[in-house]
Structure 1
Amino acid sequence: MVRRALAALATLLVAGCAGLADSGTRSTVGSDGTGPITLAIGRDTTAYLRPLLDRWNQAHPDEPVSLLELPEAADEQRAQMVANLQAHNDVYDVLALDVMWTAEFADAGWIAPLDRSLFPLDKLLKGVADTAIYRDRLWAAPYTSNAGLLYYRSDILKKEHLNPPKTWAELREQATRLSAKYHIGGYAGQFLPYEGLTVNFAEAVQSAGGSILSPDARTVTMDLGSARAALDFLVGGVKEGWIPREALTYKEEESRLAFQEGRLLFARNWPHAYGPAAHSKLAGKFSVTRLPGLNGPGSSSLGGYNLAISAFSKRQKSALDFIRYFTGLDNERLVLTEGSFPPVWAELYDDPELIKRFPYLPALKEAIVSARPRPVTADYNQISLLISSAVSGALTLDKPVDETVADLKQGLGEVIQFGG
């Protein structure tokens, strides 16, 4: 199956190599092309975007930006963008790219390189700027960062005189005992087979002391011990019931709602889920901390979105000016205060007023700084699909953990070999 899938990728990889051939010689965005622009971004579930866009539109009546909302799931966002860009369509001007897409989109020639001197990269959180750089060129401007957090019912843990779990064993014990006592689900993440499941598995492997691929994605570094421990943690939760079977259908929004509506004791999610929960019936009854790991605090995958300019946009000057405005310090503050999304400017995490309003900021900063980026490769999408499919088979109990891990390692090796 893996070999057939790899063979089907041959044409795409050849096209990718062609894009790479001229990626090093393309000039950065020029000064030409102004007028109305379109921002393509995932669905705004917190309704924070339009007021921010209105501020730009009021100040730039000749260059208004229109919001084009894509699906919530990252995989579906990417699919729509790729279909548009492969056709060299100029409908999208500014693209909100998952940090993992930078290499692929740059390699294919779909986005235009940017001038580093136009962006305050030295003011950003450590490691964040690297997500927008591929082959020593800047291809996008960091817009939001991200790291997974453990949401927990602080009211229940306080009543039980418990601290939030720092290890998987503590999470399992608390989720098992308290979910039965309080008649709610124990723990959930994003377990539907898509990019979210790849992230959850990668975090579990990291939190067991392992890794999946080398940073340059040229070597499979996944050892069977840490991968087995990671998958045992997740599959064991399903078998034992402290991970509800329903959680196998969850993406970010479903897991957010399940926790926010009081149906879960613990949930792994991104920081954007904090704001809606803080304004719900759960206000004052929950908190967040770092993800637990095998022997102590775990490690998140580094997430977030970068803003890039379509190589086929006819209004690149306006698009560049908009991106510089939208990723500036003032707007980054609003990204946090209005949308609950992690900003990329480091100084905002140390602002006393913001910490008072968002008490999770110190924990979030620690989670982001200690997070690990996913491998930088133009073939990341194929790698992610392979991982999520394999892990899903284990979670649905269709395939044993040992067999899943062994087959996954072999499959990853074939992808790497083919790509090389």
Structure 2
Amino acid sequence: MRWMRAAGRGLLALAVVVTGYAAPGAPAAGERGGGRGPMTLATAGDLTGYLGDVLADWNRAHPAEPVRLVELPDSADETRAQMVSELRSGGGRFDVLNIDVAWTSQFAAAGWIAPLERERFPLGSLLPPVVDTATYDGKLYAVPYVTNAGMLFYRRDLLDREGERPPRTWAELERQARTIAPKYGVGGYAGQFLPYEGLTVNAAEAVYSAGGTILGDEGERVTVDSAAARSGIGFLARGVRDGWIPREALTYKEEESRQAFQDGRLLFLRNWPYTHVSASGGDSEVAGRFGAVPLPGPDGPGTSVLGGSNLAVSGRARHPESARDLIAFLTGEAAQRRVLTEGALPPVRAALYRDAALVRRFPYLPALRASVLSAAPRPKSPHYEQVSLAVQAVAHDAMAQHQSPAAAVRRLAEELAAVARRR
């Protein structure tokens, strides 16, 4: 749920996280109640503060089924660890879970979240690619709540001076990063290249953009050992080797890379859409002088990895009927509009991306829509954590010039095969 943390406005954690919570009149944790009644919604820290107001509207309309917000740590790893610990224990403290899209397969395979009826939710009104992130083994286990896609931010002022347009291909990006950036004393291109989940995303985008894949058949089949994967990892490694990706970028996460672009130290940056809001602020050196387009690929527009989060009903939910209704409420058009206007987060409702008033207020929406529609989910696997660790470690070694792209891809295929066998 990086989209919920990237603004870097501090760490939120409520006492309820460590003390537990049982709503007045509700069964104790782990005890199954009837279909309707009080609930808890567990999520990473709500840094924008908008979600509490949305849930207050629900509570006013449903006094017999109030929902209590449980904010877990801001870190995705810590949020996941606390959720997994609770779910593995068989506890019933969480009813609705706001989970990273990459966790759906693991949580479903483990039986921690319950399957949902497709007809109960507005799936046909959502951006099509986001629905795939909520399925596992052919069943719907969650409902998309917030989406995200990587975008290429560029210095419009510098490209205009050179009579150039933003790049649509890797060759154009590389040429401009090598020739234009040095003229103005800035770095060429950066993404999130520290070995963590962000590098998994960047590496997967490079592989996908080149036409490759990493896993197939819900994680049972390893598909990464391909010319496309070697091309994608090679693109990133070549950038560091030839200097148009600064070596400093190997230490960047979302916030470090955003700050570098916002401070005017980069010509190009791959990051999430929140960068547009941050870089347009009064303390930005590039406010009014940058733009955003879909990521480039080898021969045209590339493929982003889908970010965002899904809402799921815990397998131990005390009041699952109320939980499903709450998810329908949060994915309805009114709540989704507030996701964007109050939370500054990309909604999953397709119609909002064509709303003229919203496009005037958030001018990056058309480019973001194009990015989402051509995006793909991260590799699906019941062992996603191990998959991600392997991808980021191998990609970093290739970018740091410790291993050739070809050798790195072979190694990754071997490591992923070992992960797949654990199923």
Would you say same fold, with TM above 0.5? yes
Deviation at 1:64, TM superposition (A): 4.2
- 1:132 paired residue number: 134
- 1:8 paired residue number: none
- 1:405 paired residue number: 409
* Contact 1:38-1:94 within 8 A present in 2 as well: yes
Q: Within 5 A, what are the aligned runs for 1:153-168?
A: 153-168=155-170
Q: CA RMSD in A?
A: 2.4
Deviation at 1:45, TM superposition (A): 4.5
Look up the equivalent residue of 1:369 and give its one-letter code. L
Q: Does 1:49 align with 2:51?
A: yes
- 2:260 and 2:134 map into 1 onto residues whose CA distance is 33
Cα separation, partners in 2 of 1:351 and 1:175, compared to 1, 3 Å: same
Q: Within 5 A, what are the aligned runs for 1:4-403?
A: 32-35=35-38, 37-60=39-62, 63-72=66-75, 74-280=76-282, 281=284, 282-403=286-407
* Contact 1:40-1:68 within 8 A present in 2 as well: yes
- 1:383 and 1:195 map into 2 onto residues whose CA distance is 10
Cα separation, partners in 2 of 1:65 and 1:117, compared to 1, 3 Å: same
* Contact 1:272-1:339 within 8 A present in 2 as well: no
Identity of aligned residues (%): 51
* Contact 2:150-2:305 within 8 A present in 1 as well: yes
* Contact 1:75-1:194 within 8 A present in 2 as well: no
Looking at secondary structure, tell me which structure has more helix per residue.
Answer: 1
Cα separation, partners in 2 of 1:238 and 1:391, compared to 1, 3 Å: same
- 1:30 and 1:292 map into 2 onto residues whose CA distance is 51
Structure 2 gaps, min length 5:
1-31
* Contact 2:101-2:310 within 8 A present in 1 as well: yes
- 2:165 and 2:147 map into 1 onto residues whose CA distance is 27
Look up the equivalent residue of 1:89 and give its one-letter code. G
- 2:88 and 2:44 map into 1 onto residues whose CA distance is 19
* Contact 1:38-1:68 within 8 A present in 2 as well: no
Cα separation, partners in 2 of 1:47 and 1:257, compared to 1, 3 Å: farther
Look up the equivalent residue of 1:363 and give its one-letter code. A
* Contact 1:30-1:317 within 8 A present in 2 as well: no
TM (norm. structure 2) is 0.84
Which stretch has the larger CA shift, 37-46 or 347-356?
37-46
Look up the equivalent residue of 1:96 and give its one-letter code. N
Deviation at 1:178, TM superposition (A): 3.1
SS in structure 2 at match of 1:378: coil
- 1:45 and 1:299 map into 2 onto residues whose CA distance is 28
- 2:84 and 2:113 map into 1 onto residues whose CA distance is 11
SS in structure 1 at match of 2:337: helix
- 1:95 and 1:251 map into 2 onto residues whose CA distance is 25
- 2:305 and 2:417 map into 1 onto residues whose CA distance is 21
Number of positions where the alignment pairs a residue of Structure 1 with one of Structure 2: 389
- 2:281 and 2:322 map into 1 onto residues whose CA distance is 36
SS in structure 1 at match of 2:43: strand
* 1:325-350 CA distance string (max 9 Å, x none): 21110111111222332211111122
SS in structure 2 at match of 1:339: coil
Deviation at 1:163, TM superposition (A): 0.5
Look up the equivalent residue of 1:141 and give its one-letter code. V
Cα separation, partners in 2 of 1:343 and 1:294, compared to 1, 3 Å: same
Deviation at 1:381, TM superposition (A): 2.2
Look up the equivalent residue of 2:390 and give its one-letter code. L
* Contact 2:41-2:67 within 8 A present in 1 as well: no
Deviation at 1:299, TM superposition (A): 0.8
* 1:231-251 CA distance string (max 9 Å, x none): 221122222332222322222
Cα separation, partners in 2 of 1:33 and 1:208, compared to 1, 3 Å: same
TM (norm. structure 1) is 0.85
Deviation at 1:153, TM superposition (A): 1.5
Look up the equivalent residue of 1:257 and give its one-letter code. Q
Cα separation, partners in 2 of 1:116 and 1:208, compared to 1, 3 Å: closer
Look up the equivalent residue of 2:68 and give its one-letter code. V
Deviation at 1:289, TM superposition (A): 0.5
* Contact 2:353-2:365 within 8 A present in 1 as well: yes
Deviation at 1:215, TM superposition (A): 4.8
